């Protein structure tokens, strides 16, 4: 069996990338082919290299606000890696509709909220401010609209009395590391049935 090739895009420490890469073994239908960042100093690049995964970066800053020009550069290492699937894992650049449309149906993202609630940033603080009793994370197909697109999985966590945003984020992150690998394995096998974790 030839494995599905998975490129992972990240901007930070890459704990989700590590969970994904470490899950792609044995009879898993996919293998990582590239870890790509917009930041040369992203800690995830080191962790990927330690796992023998090819890495690349394209610094977004020289492109100032010209998203299309940045994305044209980003496409080069991406196309060279010939991915079947792209996983955004803490990739903190908004992608244009033009870029997203080239990967339609083949690009996933993990977002730290129970979408459609709390699209955008600061999701944990917003859930606390709203007095929610539960929170969580969502893996979805990436479409042109930010943090939208068909939901492929969700994991729920309780909000506990006295939670700070950091404590809640840590509880959610643990579930991200369970949810994303479970969704990727199913998605790589051609199954879009949502993964729902408690």
Of 72 and 92, which CB lies nearer to ligand GRF in the complex structure? 92
Q: Is 112 in the site for ligand GRF (CB under 6 A)?
A: yes
Q: How far is the CB of 1 from ligand GRF (least distance, A)?
A: 28
- Among the listed ranges 13-21, 48-56, 127-135, 154-162, the one in contact with ligand GRF (CB under 6 A) is 13-21
Rounded CA separation 148/141 (Å): 8
Rounded CA separation 139/1 (Å): 26
Is 14 known to sit in a ligand binding site? yes
Q: Is 28 a catalytic residue?
A: no
Selected binder of ligand GRF within 6, 7, 14, 60 (CB under 6 A): 14
Rounded CA separation 93/123 (Å): 17
Residue nearest to ligand GRF (CB): 90
**Assigned token pair, 176:** 């991200």
Of 69 and 121, which CB lies nearer to ligand GRF in the complex structure? 121
Q: Phi and psi at residue 136, in whole multiples of 5°?
A: 165, -155
Torsion sign across C-alpha atoms 27, 170, 36, 197: positive
| DSSP H stretches of helix in the chain | 15-23, 43-50, 67-81, 97-102, 123-129, 165-188
Helices 165-188, 15-23: inter-axial angle, 10-degree rounding: 30
x/- mask, ligand GRF, residues 122-161, rule CB under 6 A, reads: ---------------x------------------------
Annotated binding site for (6R)-10-formyltetrahydrofolate: 67, 109
Give me the residues that bind ligand GRF (CB under 6 A), please.
10, 12-16, 44, 89-90, 110, 112, 137, 173, 176
């Amino acid at each position: 069996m030839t494995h599905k090739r998975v490129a992972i895009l990240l901007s930070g420490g890459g704990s989700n990338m590590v969970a994904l890469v470490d899950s792609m073994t044995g009879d898993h239908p996919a293998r990582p082919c590239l870890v790509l960042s917009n930041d040369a100093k992203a800690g995830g690049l080191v962790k990927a290299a330690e796992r023998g995964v090819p890495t690349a970066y394209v610094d977004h800053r020289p492109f100032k606000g010209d998203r299309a020009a940045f994305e044209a550069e980003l496409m080069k290492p991406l196309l060279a890696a010939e991915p079947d699937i792209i996983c955004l894992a803490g990739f903190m650049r908004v992608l244009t509709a033009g870029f997203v449309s080239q990967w339609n149906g083949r690009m996933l993202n993990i977002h730290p909220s129970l979408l459609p609630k709390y699209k955008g940033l600061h999701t944990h603080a917003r859930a606390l401010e709203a007095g929610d009793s539960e929170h969580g994370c969502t893996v979805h197909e990436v479409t042109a609209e930010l943090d939208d697109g068909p939901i492929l999985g969700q994991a729920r966590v309780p909000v506990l009395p006295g939670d700070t945003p950091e404590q809640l984020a840590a509880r959610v992150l643990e579930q991200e590391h369970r949810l994303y690998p479970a969704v990727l394995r199913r998605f790589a096998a051609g199954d879009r049935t949502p993964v729902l974790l408690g």
